[in-house]
């Protein structure tokens, strides 16, 4: 638990943390490692209850604040929901979910605050329910 608190504190200057009933959600901008590589927004889900799981389908989505002018969304359109007809599959929350983005050519230089909303679906198999979750996130993008 101590390492979890330390990790959240390390992310605090770069990311706002949304604490919900079932998940703590945070986001951070991940700059491209190489000049023409893709940038991402990494969203981390920390469960408050180990029984509550985030569904893989429909996949979580990040919606950037339409007022911001720093990032351009590069996510593919949402997949069409089909008949799943089997056991539900859940995300591995030990890994962040990455959403592709690009820095806008018109973005102001320096550190810029960006906000967005993450929408996801989660279930408790033990209690027999599923819900839609939405968490507001904020993070800093350093525009060179």
Residue-wise pLDDT for 49-104, tens only, equals 999 999 999 999 999 999 999 999 999 888 766 555 567 899 999 999 999 999 99
Burial class from Cβ neighbours inside 10 Å (0-12, 13-18, 19+) for residue 53 reads: buried
Q: What domains can be seen in the chain, in order of their start residue?
A: 2-143 (2.60.40)
pTM of the model: 0.81
């Amino acid at each position: 638990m101590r390492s979890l608190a330390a990790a959240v504190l390390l992310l605090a200057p770069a990311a706002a943390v949304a604490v919900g009933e079932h998940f703590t959600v945070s986001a951070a901008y991940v700059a491209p490692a190489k000049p023409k590589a893709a940038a991402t927004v990494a969203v981390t889900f920390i469960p408050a209850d180990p029984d509550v799981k985030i569904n893989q389908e429909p996949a979580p989505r990040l919606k950037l604040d339409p007022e911001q002018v720093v990032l351009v969304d590069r996510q593919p359109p949402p997949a069409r929901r089909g008949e799943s007809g089997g056991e539900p599959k859940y995300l591995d929350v030990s890994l962040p979910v990455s959403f592709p983005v690009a820095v806008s050519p018109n973005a102001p230089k320096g550190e810029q605050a960006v906000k967005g909303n993450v929408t996801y679906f989660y279930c408790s198999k033990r209690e027999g329910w599923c819900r839609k979750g939405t968490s507001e996130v904020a993070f800093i993008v350093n525009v060179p």
